[in-house]
Structure 1
Amino acid sequence: MELQPGREAVVRVAVATLWTTPEAVRPVDHPALTAPTDIPAWITGMNADQQVGDCVLSQLLLGERVLVTDLRPDGWAQVVAVEQPAAKLDPRGYPGWLRADQLAPVDPAATGHALVVDATITELRAAPDGPVLLPGVVVGTRLVPAGPAREGWRPVHVPAQAAPLWLPDGHLTPIPAEPPTADEALTLAQRLLDVVYVWGGLSAYGIDCSGLVHLAWRRFGVLLPRDADDQALATTPLPLGAERRGDLYFFARPGRKIHHIGIVTAAPSGDHRRMLHACYRQRRVVEEQLPAERTATLVGVHRV
């Protein structure tokens, strides 16, 4: 089977990066373009300005579905990330470009997602405790079981792999049937404290503000939109002052659309509010009291 425009495909690397255009890719981005990818090397190879370049739109995790809309002879695929809602851009999902060799045709025998990676970072092996074939698999990755656990290891179907790969059974958990509590999603997000801020990032190696929120709920089977302004539309507004742990703060400058989001970490105390967020200014995930300049742009609190 080959990739075809008009058909769905799945990501076959641990973390694939979604680009604005193939021409926007920079020399420093090479580790993110290979198959397998080396996302840690990509992030550490960039300087602070390159980590917030606007050539990156988002990232997709192993097994994530896309709709292929075009294929170029130079190895690029135009896609719609159907598991990352982005209504303002495309009602089908988030549009952008991926390297075609980071995708595989859908295998009907290995569809469905019964398990999700709960380890912050793990790796897939050729056999129980065998050689690593796919490093850098991150929390929130959904995988299809290929059989029962054996001596603490679980086999899973992996796109483009003829035989199942293995990872510690304790690194997986069933996708819950019920949505998470707000506190459960916050607890997951807190595990990413100090992860570097990367524009468009959606992994435990580098992440942005809306990516942190998307990934925290995605781990529990809830697919929120990818961007902060869309996340505001998909959640329920509350009166300011009614927020509790796990709710969402939204920020916008006067006359502008929402540009930032954070997760409430404590009920407000007077004018003092706290949140966990991927902070562009500090270039990492932090938990802090809202500084005055942030409070000045606070435009709403919502609940998932």
Structure 2
Amino acid sequence: MELQPGREAVVRVAVATLWTAPEAVRPVDRPALDAHADVAAWIAGMDADQQVGECALSQLLLGERVLVTELRPDGWAHVVAVEQPAAQLDPRGYPGWLPAAQLAPLPGEAPDPADAPLVVDATVTALRSAPGGEPLLPGVVLGTRLTPAGPPVDGWRPVRAPGHDRPLWLPDGHVVPLPTAPPSAPEVLAVAGRLRDVVYVWGGVSAYGIDCSGLVHLAWRRFGVTLPRDADDQAVATTPLPPGTERPGDLYFFARPGRKIHHIGIVSAAPQGEYRRMLHACYKQREVLEEALPDERTATLVGAHRV
């Protein structure tokens, strides 16, 4: 089976980057463009300014579904990331471009209902050829959903991976069952907190590099909850709170007068008067950090919301 416009496909690399256009990529982006998509090398090879270049839109994780809308002869595919809502861009999901070699056709067989989905709980792991064997898919990150391929064996779990006919293996402790009940806000905050010090990368949605709305999207994704990809859409999808009633795990939104929301953070402590704290991927300091809201953030705070 081959990729076809109008049909769904799945991501076959650990982390695929979604781009504004094939012509927008830079020489420094080469590690993220090949058939293995070495995102760690890509981010390590960029300077601070290149990490916030707006040629990248978002990122997709191994096994994530997309709708293929165009295939170009030069090997690029235009897709809609159907698991990343983006109502203001496309009601079907987040649109963008990526190398077609990073996709695999959607499997013809539906998963066995008895195979409860798993989700990666390790910050980063690798899928191997056998228990303790050669890494065939390194760089698989927190929040990646996997389908089990049988029971654990000596502490190793077999899973199915797009583009691989045989099961791959990872440590059993690196995955947990995908939750069926909504998580508590403190649980989500704790997962997001594990990404503290991760570098800020525009469009990033992984433990290698992440942006402000990507941090929120990924933290909830770990628990099976799908939030929109961008901060302004996340505001629409969540419930506003009366000022001062926010609690850890809720969300702060920021906007300048007369402009749309441009930043989001996760409430990390109950407010005390005007004193507030949040965990966020900070563009200015270029990393995920937890801090008291500085004056310029307080001046642009437009509300707190709850998922």
Q: Same fold (TM over 0.5)?
A: yes
Residue type matched to 2:98 in 1? L
* Offset at residue 111 of structure 1 (A): 3.9
Please state whether the residue corresponding to 2:98 is helix, strand or coil.
strand
TM-align CA RMSD:
0.8
* Offset at residue 108 of structure 1 (A): 2.8
**Cα distance between partner residues in 2 of 1:162 and 1:114:** 18
**Which of 167, 188, 191 pairs up with 2:191?**
188
**Cα distance between partner residues in 2 of 1:70 and 1:64:** 18
Indicate the residue corresponding to 2:166 in structure 1. 163
Indicate the residue corresponding to 1:38 in structure 2. 38
TM-score by length of 1: 0.99
Residue type matched to 2:149 in 1? A
* Offset at residue 162 of structure 1 (A): 1.1
Indicate the residue corresponding to 2:286 in structure 1. 283
**Which of 231, 237, 248 pairs up with 1:234?**
237
Indicate the residue corresponding to 1:83 in structure 2. 83
Residues 223-250 of structure 1: per-residue CA shift (max 9 Å, x gap): 0000000000000000110000000000
Q: Retained in 2: the 8 A contact 1:247–1:302?
A: yes
Indicate the residue corresponding to 1:197 in structure 2. 200
Residue type matched to 1:295 in 2? T
Residues 257-296 of structure 1: per-residue CA shift (max 9 Å, x gap): 0000000000001111000000000000000000001100
Residue type matched to 1:148 in 2? P
Please state whether the residue corresponding to 1:96 is helix, strand or coil.
strand
Please state whether the residue corresponding to 2:214 is helix, strand or coil.
helix
**Cα distance between partner residues in 2 of 1:26 and 1:209:** 23
Q: Retained in 2: the 8 A contact 1:69–1:77?
A: yes
**Cα distance between partner residues in 2 of 1:65 and 1:165:** 20
Q: Retained in 2: the 8 A contact 1:110–1:144?
A: no
Residue type matched to 2:38 in 1? D
Aligned residues: 304
Residue type matched to 1:273 in 2? R
Indicate the residue corresponding to 1:259 in structure 2. 262
Q: Retained in 2: the 8 A contact 1:11–1:63?
A: yes
1:146 and 2:157 are equivalent in the alignment = no
Please state whether the residue corresponding to 2:133 is helix, strand or coil.
coil
1:220 and 2:228 are equivalent in the alignment = no
Q: Retained in 2: the 8 A contact 1:14–1:134?
A: yes
1:120 and 2:123 are equivalent in the alignment = yes
Residues 181-201 of structure 1: per-residue CA shift (max 9 Å, x gap): 000000000000000000000
Please state whether the residue corresponding to 2:51 is helix, strand or coil.
helix
Structure 2: state its 5+ residue gaps: none
Residues 101-120 of structure 1: per-residue CA shift (max 9 Å, x gap): 00000113364771000000
**Cα distance between partner residues in 1 of 2:95 and 2:80:** 4
Indicate the residue corresponding to 1:11 in structure 2. 11
Indicate the residue corresponding to 1:54 in structure 2. 54
**Cα distance between partner residues in 1 of 2:34 and 2:276:** 42
Residue type matched to 1:62 in 2? L
**Cα distance between partner residues in 2 of 1:29 and 1:219:** 27
Residues 5-31 of structure 1: per-residue CA shift (max 9 Å, x gap): 000000000000000000000000000
Indicate the residue corresponding to 1:108 in structure 2. 108
Structure 1: state its 5+ residue gaps: none
Q: What percent identity do the matched residue pairs reach?
A: 77
TM-score by length of 2: 0.98
Residue type matched to 2:185 in 1? A
1:273 and 2:237 are equivalent in the alignment = no
**Cα distance between partner residues in 2 of 1:59 and 1:179:** 24
Residues 208-236 of structure 1: per-residue CA shift (max 9 Å, x gap): 00000000000000000000000000000
**Cα distance between partner residues in 2 of 1:220 and 1:34:** 30
**Cα distance between partner residues in 2 of 1:197 and 1:111:** 35
